[in-house]
C-alpha cells in the first residue's frame, strides 16, 4: 500500500442520489472530503444510488430501492430492508471489489454497513452523520466501536454525547470549500434560515421571530415536508418570509452572504450544522439554539449568539444584538477551523490511524 496514495472506496447515503440535496449534510461532507483527498494524491471512488453525480470523480451508481430516512424512525423501530434494497447493493458491490482498495469509508447512517464490517478483509471506517436515533442503530454502532476501536467518527462532541459509547468516537468536526463562499461586509437588512423544511429543524420558531421583529426572513432548503410548511404559513400569515427554494452551493451563498444573520432553530441534536460554517464563511453571524453541533461552532458574542433552546424571545433578543458582531471575525473563524483542508487533515489522520491499527492486527 502506498500511504501517499491510498485507494479509497467512499460509500454514500442510501436515502437518495448525490446532487439534488436529499442526503443533506452527508453530501456536502462526502463531496468536500473526496475532492480534497484527490487533491492530496489519493485515489477515490464514490459508490452512490443511480442518478448521482460524482463531481468528476470516479463514481459507481447502484440501482435499487432507497432506504427510509433514519430521521423518521423511533427508538424501537426495527431495521427495515426493502425489496431490491440499494443499501444491500452498495455493500455487495463493496464485498466484490474490496481487494482493489486499501480502505472503505461508510457515510451511511444505516444498520447494514456496521453489521457487515467484520465480514470484510479490508478496514471499514464509519463517519456517523447524526446523533442517537434508535436502539438498533446504537447497538450495531457500539459493536463496531468495541470490535474495531478508532474506526467510528462523528462531527461534534454533542453528537458523540448522544451515544453511551460517544467517548470512544473520533470527533472530526466538518469542513467546507471556503473558495466557494464570498465574504460580504455590508449586508441587506434581512435574516436567513437554511435547511430541510422538516419538523426537526424548527423553522416555525425562526418564522415567529421574523413575525415579532418585522425583519424579513429568507428561507432556503429542500421543502421536505409540505404539510409542515403549510401549517407554518397558516400560523404566521403576516410574517415577512420568503421561501427562495433549494440551491446549489454557489447560488445558496449568493443569497446567504447578503444576510444580517442566520437563524438555526434545531429541535434535535444537530450532529454538526454545516449551514453554520457556510454562514461564517460569508461573514454572516449565527444565532443558534444552544443544542448540538452548532453550539460548538458559534462563539458567543464573537461569531454569533447561543440562545436558550426553543425560546423565540431568545432569538428576538439575539437578533437585536447582531450589530455587535464583527463580520470579519466570522470569516476568520471559518478559515481557522472549518476549511476543507482543515477537515481533510483530520480525516486523513483518522484513516492513517485505522490502517496502522489494522496492520498491527493482521
Q: Report the interface residues with ligand HBI, using CB under 6 A.
A: 13-15, 23-26, 67, 69-71, 108-110, 129-130
Chain mean position to CA 11 = 15
**Which residue(s) pair with 264 in the sheet?**
288
Which backbone phi and psi does 165 adopt, to 5 degrees?
A: -100, 15
Residue 190's CB: how many other CB atoms inside 10 A? Answer: 18
Q: Is 105:42 a contact under the CB 8 Å cutoff?
A: no
Contacts of 65 (CB under 8 A, 6+ apart): 82, 83, 84, 85, 86
Cell 464514490 identifies what position? Answer: 46
Cell 434494497 identifies what position? Answer: 85
CA distance to 17, 280, 292, 306, per residue, from 289 (Å)? 30, 16, 8, 6
Degrees, nearest 5: CA angle 246-211-213: 110
**Which residue(s) pair with 176 in the sheet?**
339
What is the distance between the alpha carbons of residues 90 and 113, in angstroms, rounded to a whole number?
9
DSSP one-letter code for 68: P
Q: What is the sign, positive or negative, of the torsion defined by CA atoms of 92, 97, 101, 102?
A: positive
Q: Is 274:176 a contact under the CB 8 Å cutoff?
A: yes
Kindly give the pairing relationship between strand 261-264 and strand 286-289.
parallel
What is the distance between the alpha carbons of residues 235 and 216, in angstroms, rounded to a whole number?
16
Cell 500500500 identifies what position? Answer: 1
Cell numbers given for 236: 404566521
What is the distance between the alpha carbons of residues 291 and 271, in angstroms, rounded to a whole number?
10
Cell numbers given for 51: 442518478
Cell 481533510 identifies what position? Answer: 344
Amino acid at each position: 500500500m502506498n500511504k501517499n496514495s491510498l485507494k479509497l472506496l467512499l460509500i454514500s447515503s442510501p436515502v437518495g442520489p448525490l446532487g439534488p440535496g436529499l442526503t443533506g449534510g452527508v453530501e456536502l461532507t462526502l463531496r468536500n472530503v473526496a475532492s480534497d483527498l484527490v487533491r492530496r494524491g489519493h485515489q477515490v471512488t464514490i459508490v452512490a444510488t443511480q442518478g448521482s453525480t460524482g463531481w468528476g470523480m470516479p463514481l459507481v451508481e447502484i440501482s435499487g430501492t432507497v432506504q427510509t430516512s433514519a430521521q423518521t424512525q423511533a427508538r424501537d423501530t426495527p431495521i427495515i430492508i426493502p425489496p431490491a434494497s440499494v443499501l444491500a447493493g452498495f455493500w455487495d458491490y463493496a464485498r466484490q471489489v474490496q481487494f482493489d482498495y486499501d480502505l472503505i469509508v461508510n457515510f451511511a447512517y444505516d444498520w447494514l454497513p456496521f453489521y457487515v464490517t467484520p465480514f470484510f478483509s479490508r478496514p471499514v471506517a464509519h463517519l456517523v452523520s447524526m446523533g442517537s436515533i434508535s436502539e438498533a442503530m446504537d447497538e450495531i454502532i457500539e459493536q463496531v466501536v468495541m470490535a474495531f476501536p478508532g474506526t467510528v467518527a462523528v462531527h461534534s462532541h454533542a453528537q458523540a454525547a448522544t451515544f453511551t459509547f460517544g467517548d470512544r468516537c473520533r470527533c472530526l468536526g466538518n469542513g467546507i470549500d471556503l473558495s466557494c463562499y464570498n465574504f460580504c461586509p455590508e449586508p441587506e437588512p434581512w435574516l436567513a434560515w437554511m435547511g430541510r423544511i422538516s419538523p426537526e429543524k424548527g423553522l416555525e420558531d425562526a418564522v415567529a421571530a421574523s413575525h415579532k421583529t418585522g425583519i424579513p426572513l429568507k428561507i432556503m432548503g429542500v421543502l421536505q415536508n409540505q404539510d409542515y410548511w403549510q401549517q407554518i404559513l397558516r400560523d404566521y400569515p403576516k410574517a415577512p418570509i420568503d421561501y427562495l427554494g433549494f440551491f446549489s452551493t454557489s447560488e445558496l451563498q449568493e443569497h446567504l452572504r447578503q444576510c444580517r444573520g442566520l437563524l438555526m432553530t434545531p429541535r434535535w441534536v444537530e450532529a454538526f450544522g454545516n449551514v453554520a460554517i457556510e454562514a461564517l464563511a460569508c461573514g454572516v453571524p449565527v444565532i443558534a439554539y444552544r443544542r448540538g453541533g452548532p453550539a460548538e461552532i458559534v462563539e458567543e458574542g464573537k461569531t454569533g449568539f447561543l440562545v436558550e433552546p426553543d425560546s423565540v424571545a431568545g432569538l428576538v433578543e439575539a437578533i437585536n444584538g447582531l450589530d455587535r458582531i464583527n463580520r470579519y471575525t466570522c470569516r476568520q473563524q471559518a478559515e481557522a477551523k472549518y476549511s476543507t483542508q482543515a477537515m481533510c487533515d483530520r480525516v486523513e489522520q483518522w484513516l492513517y490511524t485505522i490502517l496502522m491499527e489494522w496492520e498491527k492486527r493482521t
